[in-house]
Structure 1
Amino acid sequence: MKTTSPDTEKKKSGIFARIISWLLVILILGLGGYVYYRYYFVFGEGVKSGYLNYAVKKGNLFKTYEGKLIQEGLRTNQVGTGVSNNEFEFSVESDSIFKILEVNSGKYFDLHYKEYHGVLPWRGNTRYVVDEVVNMR
């Protein structure tokens, strides 16, 4: 009959606990990296120009600022579907920017935006978040 010493069992359980803790740390870091990349990493940014169609505050649980810019020119969405207008739907995080947009509906704007991979409900309904009014006329 073979018996194992208490030291051998302690070493086995210590190694197992160490492996589990490292896997847990790696899993948490990986999940944190994914959440950052998906919801907080700025994928792209630029400026869009057009006539402001509307700026509204809406939402069931999180009230967010949303807007739509009608860009000049025409485009086709799919082959054979005809021509439609260029619309840029966006969200706004800042109260001050929303107030500018709200009282100037119908004017021509140049808006600086940031594009994210994912949508957060408290940030808005779109992946595009306007953070600056570059020009208004």
Structure 2
Amino acid sequence: MAFPGYHLQRKSSFKKIITIIVLILILIIGFWFWWSYLYVFGEGVKSGQLNYIVKKGNLFKTYEGKLIQSGIRSQQPGSIQSYEFEFSVENDSLANVLMSNSGAYYDLHYKEYKNTLPWRGFSRYIVDSIVHMQSATH
């Protein structure tokens, strides 16, 4: 003989367990998303001559640029290659300043993320400010 209300008590305990499991899963997925896409993994300054900056993209139009750093490196014996820093820019006004001074020497502050988001740009490196700019015509 079952106790009255036993069946209802068992159902509500099961609901509580499922609710707790779902909440824990949401928290884990939320933390993973934050860690992978929103957490600033590193930041710093890169210096060099601005090669180009363009606005491109299929669905999300983002600013993408390339900075040519002074110095050379060799990935294979006997070959010489310049350092290139490819980056994205979120801020329209910052991108316009960079575009209007293409070819100038820049010190650019950037933030590095672990992964990219389509609306943030193609690169994991997001330039957020100009530390110093020196005109191309010294």
- Which of these residues, 80, 83, 106, is aligned with residue 83 of structure 1? 80
Following superposition, the deviation at residue 6 of structure 1 comes to 4.0
**1:117 matched residue in structure 2:** 114
CA RMSD of superposed structures (Å): 1.2
TM-score for both structures, normalised by structure 2: 0.93
- Which of these residues, 59, 84, 88, is aligned with residue 61 of structure 1? 59
Show CA shifts across 1:50-97 (max 9, x none): 0000010000100000100000001123x5473211000000000111
| Distance in 1 separating the partners of 2:81 and 2:34 | 35
Following superposition, the deviation at residue 117 of structure 1 comes to 0.4
**1:20 matched residue in structure 2:** 18
- Which of these residues, 59, 84, 98, is aligned with residue 95 of structure 2? 98
The answer to whether 1:107 aligns with 2:129 is: no
- Which of these residues, 109, 113, 127, is aligned with residue 124 of structure 2? 127
Runs of 4+ in structure 1 deviating by more than 4 angstroms, as ranges, are none
| Distance in 1 separating the partners of 2:4 and 2:84 | 72
TM-score for both structures, normalised by structure 1: 0.93
Unaligned runs of 5+ in 2: none
Q: Sequence identity, in percent?
A: 54
Q: Secondary structure at the match of 1:4?
A: coil
**1:39 matched residue in structure 2:** 37
Unaligned runs of 5+ in 1: none
Following superposition, the deviation at residue 8 of structure 1 comes to 1.3
**Greater displacement, 91-100 / 80-89:** 80-89
| Structure 2 letter corresponding to 1:100 | V
